[in-house]
Amino acid sequence: MESFLTALGPTKSLESMEVLFSLSVSFVLGLILATVYRWTHQSFSYARSFLHTMVLATIVITIMIMAIGNNMARGLGIMGAMAFVRFRTPIRDPRDIIFLFASLSIGIASGAQVFGVAIIGTLYFCFTALFLSWSPFASRREFEGLLRFMMPPNSPSHENLQAIFTRYTSSTEMVAMREAIQGEVQEYSYQIRLIDPSYKTDLVDSLSKLDDISEVSLVMQRTTVEI
């Protein structure tokens, strides 16, 4: 590498070192961004190739910005060439789009050699992403679930049912009721909100002990699955 830079001459050698430094800064910041994305990722759409894309995108954009420089003709030429590229890979999580934009921003700042903006911006973005991931901000810890059971239409257990709901849930809402076993019993479906997540077993056991209620089931809602 040293002999190659020496062959280029002092001016070209200085320019080459600036290019290598810009690409190195872009690469390191891209790795930091990809690492924070991996730490804070929570949905099912995780892909190793997406992390590689973020790191490589910072380098590609850095190269593009340095190649364009202050030359408008180069910029228009690159925009025209990029117009032929069609990206058909779907991005399901909006959060992935923000991380991809962040990698592009790092590449732009590094290519323009605004290293202060690139480094401080990356660290601040990563700090914010970690804070939002580890803090309870925007989380809904409401322990919602779907409760189903069978009960005869005129069962005297309705009063006991309401008492059990009052003991273990903060709110209940009937979402469905249909006849089953040729009208002998009815199937009830309730959207419930538990007071505490540990009440799941207690709620099901209390309902199962009632004489007229059978086939009790409770499905708790997950953050990535709708009931």
Please write the tens of the pLDDT for every residue from 128-137.
888 877 776 5
Same domain, 46 and 9: yes
- Asked if the structure places residue 139 within a domain, the reply is no
Same domain, 60 and 126: yes
Same domain, 130 and 211: no
Question: Distance (Å, rounded) from C-alpha 168 to C-alpha 185?
Answer: 25
Give me the domain span that covers residue 171: 144-220
Same domain, 116 and 165: no
**Residues 37/51, Cβ–Cβ less than 8 Å:** yes
Please write the tens of the pLDDT for every residue from 36-95.
888 887 766 677 777 888 888 888 888 888 877 777 766 666 666 566 556 666 767 777
Of 113, 115, 124, give the one whose Cα is nearest residue 33.
Answer: 124
- Asked if the structure places residue 226 within a domain, the reply is no
Same domain, 180 and 129: no
Q: Which CATH number covers residue 211?
A: 3.30.70.260
- Asked if the structure places residue 225 within a domain, the reply is no
Same domain, 97 and 50: yes
Same domain, 86 and 178: no
Same domain, 101 and 211: no
